[in-house]
Structure 1
């Protein structure tokens, strides 16, 4: 998993090197997410990288009835991960990433709930790793890694350290 997280760090480093103008103009999270996904594609050539992908194989990514995880659609059924690294046809779900601007004052718990659900081995084709990143103007202000439906403290510390070493970890 550390190798995969190192690729995420490399993508974030390139993203910050290339996209300073996006932060200067205070563009929205969707714009930032798309540009980060472009950098993720370079790091994961054997996978597809998509934004707001709401499928698990041929099925819509719906949560089980009674789930405590909040959803992203008006029907209250679907969730849309910001970025996914996966193989569409298999399906092989590798990494789910939730991206937030550090200036977003909405509670971050919604993103955490999504990553818990997306990495939960009991829910369909779970993602192997979930990553939450808060993007500040000059670097990542906070990050968290999820595995098997739970935050993973050791990998979260590893990711924070690698971001700091890359010069883009602000926290």
Structure 2
């Protein structure tokens, strides 16, 4: 897992080196997410990196009915991860990343629940690793790591230290 998280850090370094304009002009989260995905793709040769990708082969990603962020539809709630690293045609989902700008003041719970669901080994499309990133113009304001459907505190502490060591910890 550390190797994959180191690739996320490398992508963040590249992102912050080239995408300051997005924060200077307060560009929307979807553009930030897309540009991060462009830099992440460079780190994961042989994998597909997509934004808002809601499929596994022909099947649409749905959370099971009754999950904490489901709706009343009979199939469960469609789920659109911000950025994923995966193989499109086979069930090989490696990494799901949820990105927020620090200026987004809506509660984090939705993204946290989404990452729990996306990494839950009991769902058919589970991603191995989930990462939550709250980004500001100065760096990563908050991060978390998910594994097995739960926050992985030890890995989150390691990741936060690596972000700090890389000069990516925000200073607002």
Give the TM-score taking structure 1 as reference length.
0.95
Distance in 2 between the 1:114 and 1:95 partners?
Answer: 13
SS of the residue 2:46 aligns to: coil
The 1-side partners of 2:69 and 2:121 are apart by: 15
Q: Distance in 1 between matches of 2:120 and 2:77?
A: 17
Deviation per CA, 1:78-130, whole angstroms, max 9, x where unpaired?
Answer: 01000000000122100000000011000010000000000000010210000
Matched with 2:128 is 128
Structure possessing the higher relative contact order (Cα contacts under 8 Å, 6 or more residues apart)? 1
What residue in structure 2 maps to residue 146 of structure 1? Answer: 146
**Aligned 1:96-111 pairs, distance under 5 A:** 96-111=96-111
In structure 2, the partner of 1:7 is: 7
Q: What is the aligned partner in structure 2 of residue 77 from structure 1?
A: 77
* TM-score, normalization by structure 2: 0.94
Which stretch of the first structure deviates more once superposed, 75-84 or 127-136? 75-84
| Structure 2 Cα separation of the partners of residues 56 and 155 of structure 1 | 27
Asked if 1 retains the 8 angstrom alpha-carbon contact of 2:85 and 2:94, the reply is: yes
Aligned residue-pair number: 169
In the alignment, structure 2 segments of 5+ residues that lack a partner are: none
Q: Which residue of 1 aligns with 2:59?
A: 59
Cα deviations by residue, 1:3-38 (Å, 9 ceiling, x for unpaired): 100000000010000000110000010000000000
Aligned partner of 2:20 in structure 1 is: 20
Q: Alpha carbon RMSD of aligned pairs, Å?
A: 1.5
Partners of 2:94 and 2:144 in 1: how far apart?
16
Q: CA deviation at 1:169?
A: 1.2
SS at match of 1:53: coil
Runs of 4+ in 1 over 3 A off after TM superposition: none
- Is the Cα–Cα contact under 8 Å of residues 85 and 95 in structure 1 kept in the other structure? yes
